[in-house]
Amino acid sequence: MANQYNSRPRPAEVALDDGTARLVRRRETLADLTTVEREAQGTGDVDGPGDADGPEVDR
């Protein structure tokens, strides 16, 4: 089992069936890992609107 902790790409997965190997998941690339990342907009606010910690609230 693999995960993306520390942005490590996951390895390829191969299934064996009666001695025949078949690629079932390709190896992840760095591009695969960084597609969901975004750069800070220079506002000093790393958590932007709509982040996992919830919506921003005006106080």
pLDDT tens readout for residues 9-59: 889 999 999 999 999 999 999 888 888 777 766 655 555 555 555 556 665
- Asked if the structure places residue 47 within a domain, the reply is no
Q: Is 16 within a domain?
A: yes
55 within some domain = no
For the question of whether the overall pTM of this predicted structure is more than 0.95, the answer is: no
The residue segments making up the domain with residue 9 are 5-34
Q: Assess if residue 40 is contained within a domain.
A: no
DSSP string for 2-58: ---GGGPPPPPEEEEETTEEEEEEPPP-HHHHHTT-----SSS-SS-TT-TT-----
Query: Is residue 28 in some structural domain?
Result: yes
C-alpha distances in Å from residue 56, one per residue of 37, 40, 49: 19, 16, 6
pLDDT of residue 14: 96
